[in-house]
Amino acid sequence: MSIDPSEYRRVLGHFPTGVTVVTGADENGPAGMAIGSFASVSLDPPLVMFCPGSESASWLRIKETGAFCVNVLGADQKDTCGVFAGKADDKFEGIDWTTDVTGAPVIPGSIAVIDCEIHSILDGGDHDIVVGLVKSMSTSDDAAERGPLLFFQGGYGRYEAI
Ligand SMILES: Cc1cc2nc3c(=O)[nH]c(=O)nc-3n(C[C@H](O)[C@H](O)[C@H](O)COP(=O)(O)O)c2cc1C
C-alpha cells in the first residue's frame, strides 16, 4: 500500500505535540527553526532528540556548530512559532536572545530551555534524526501558569488539565 503524502500529514496531525524552537549560532549570527518532533530519549546519559528536514537551511547551519538549544514555547508565543516556521532572513530581529553553555541562542519567554551538544545524527529519510547530549537545562518560574503551546490537526492550542 502506498501512503499518500497529504493523508500522511492529516493522520500524523492527530498526534499532538508541544512546540519548540531549536537554535544555533555561527559566525553569521543566530539560526533557528520551529520543531515539533522533539522528545526525550535517555536519562543516563541525558539524551534528547529532534528531526529537522535534512536540507533545512537553518539545520544545515546549526549542524556545523556541533550544538543546539531547544526552547520550549509557552501558549502565549504562537507568533514566535510563526516566525521560526517561516523563511525570513533574520528570524531573530527584535528578539533579545542570550546564551547558556553551548552558545546556542536562548529565546526569552521560553518555558523550558535544554542546551545540548550534538551526540549523533541518524538517517531518517528526508529528515535527520538528531540526538543531543544535554549540557544545561532550566525552566521559567511562570511555566505552569502560562502553559505550553500545543500543535494539533494543523492548529495551535493550549493545555487544559482534566
Ligand atoms: C508547529 C510546527 C512544528 C514543526 N516541526 C518541524 C519538525 O519537527 N521538523 C522540521 O523539519 N520542520 C518542522 N517545522 C517546519 C520548520 O519550522 C520550517 O520548515 C523551518 O523553519 C524552515 O526554516 P529554514 O528554511 O530556515 O530551514 C514545524 C513547523 C511548525 C509550525
Mean pLDDT over all residues of the chain?
A: 98
Grade residue 1 by pLDDT with cuts at 50, 70 and 90: confident
Q: Which amino acid, residue 147?
A: G
List the domains of the chain with CATH numbers: 20-154 (2.30.110.10)
Q: Which ligand 1 atom sits nearest the alpha carbon of residue 31? A: 26
Distance from residue 146's CA to the centre of ligand 1 (Å): 23
Report which secondary-structure segment, H or E, holds 10. Answer: helix 5-12
| Contacts with 25 (C-beta within 8 Å, 6 or more apart), sequence order | 31, 65, 99, 103, 104, 105
Confidence at residue 101, expressed as pLDDT on a 0 to 100 scale:
98
Confidence at residue 97, expressed as pLDDT on a 0 to 100 scale:
98
Query: pLDDT for 131-141, tens place per residue?
Result: 999 999 999 99
Query: pLDDT for 47-91, tens place per residue?
Result: 999 999 999 999 999 999 999 999 999 999 999 999 999 999 899
- With CA atoms as reference, report the closest residue to 23 among 74, 52, 79, 62: 62
Q: Which residue is closest in CA terms to ligand 1's atom 15?
A: 85
CA dihedral 10, 128, 149, 85 (to 10 degrees): -80
pLDDT tops 80 at residue 29: yes
Contact 88, 96 (CB under 8 A): no
Answer whether 0.95 is exceeded by the pTM.
yes
> Which cell is 100 given?
547558556
Contact 113, 99 (CB under 8 A): no
Q: Which ligand 1 atom sits nearest the alpha carbon of residue 17? A: 1
